[in-house]
Amino acid sequence: MTFIQTAFRNLHPLLQFVFIACIALSGMGLSVFIGTYVSAGICGTGGTLSDMLSSLSNLESEKGICSNLLINSLNQIIAFGGAGLAYALLHGAAPGVGFSSEGKSDHLWKFFVGAIIITLGFSPILDFTYRINEWLLMEGSTLHSMAAALEAEAARITAAMLQIETSKQFIATLVSIALLPAICEELLFRGTIQPIFVKWSGNIHVGIWISAAIFSAIHFQFFGFIPRMLLGAGFGYLVYASGSLWPAVLGHFINNGLAVFAAWWLGPEWISEGMDPSAGSWGVVEAITTFVGVTAIWLSGRWLKRSMDLKEQTT
């Protein structure tokens, strides 16, 4: 272990978190700076920051969609991936840190299967908790109005990026919305922030839920705060139980990738209706699918528990 790694490991977890957060925030700024020039070459936007910002807001144009996908990709790689990689390098290999294989389960393939089942099972549960989340914000309140405005803008951007017309655009969208977030966000939130808060609190559950809450909050879509936090916590427990980040990466990719595949296959009708979990009434079909989802997650959890080498991750 180098001197720098030793010094970083000896920092208080709060200082480690602040340091990593600063890297991520700096990475966001750097993504925009680099994106200005890359977007000019790839998307045909102007070579100035104002030109690119204008393109980002023009979601009805091909240049606007292209620049949004590009900036999102750069932000994932530089901000989230860069901050997560910095922690992994500074901290050094350890169970639960980055893509370290220390403490990895001997039955990792079972956790990949479990990640698929759990992610698919979560889908109807997320729709149900989305409705609860929106109800808890109390319609008509200032908080509800602010959340609704943020939700509408996020939905507008997401819908524009999911307007897929060609196979090349499908691949670009799948990489930007599914593949890169699955790798980079998991590296930062489950492979960096989670172990930091586990070390700080000395409790695996505290680390998992705090990192899941931060993961949900950075999306700035507060009608979906609870469902996204639940999904993040599910990924966190997968990482803890398997000793590897990869099952969570797979689950994250499936969750995001299904939306991209649905948009490509079903087209504008699904984008306008299927992206709003609160659309339509809650009926027998929804109740049954939620019950099936909960049952699938429970059975999968019991199956995986037999393969778990339970131990506290405090490093």
Tell me which of 92, 122, 148 is where a domain ends: 92
Q: Are residues 121 and 88 in the same domain?
A: no
pLDDT over 70 (residue 167): yes
Rounded to two decimals, the pTM is 0.91
Residues 6+ apart with CB under 8 A from 80: 24, 27, 181, 184, 185, 187, 188
Tell me which of 37, 68, 92 is where a domain ends: 92
- Distance of alpha carbon 281 from alpha carbon 266, whole angstroms: 21
Q: Are residues 85 and 113 in the same domain?
A: no
- Distance of alpha carbon 80 from alpha carbon 87, whole angstroms: 11
Q: What pLDDT sits at residue 118?
A: 93
Q: Are residues 88 and 107 in the same domain?
A: no
Residues 6+ apart with CB under 8 A from 115: 238, 247, 248, 250, 251, 254
pLDDT (tens digit per residue) in 83-141? 999 999 999 888 889 998 888 888 899 999 999 999 999 988 888 888 888 787 777 77
Q: Are 251 and 116 in contact (CB under 8 A)?
A: yes
Q: Are residues 81 and 159 in the same domain?
A: no
Which of residues 172 and 280 earns the better pLDDT score? 172
Number of domains in the chain: 2
Q: Are residues 165 and 75 in the same domain?
A: no
Residues 6+ apart with CB under 8 A from 267: none
Q: What pLDDT sits at residue 281?
A: 66
Which of residues 13 and 107 earns the better pLDDT score? 13
Which residue segment(s) compose the domain that 45 sits in?
1-92
The DSSP result for 128-156, as a single string, is HHHHHHHHHT-TTSHHHHHHHHHHHHHHH
Q: Are 135 and 144 in contact (CB under 8 A)?
A: no
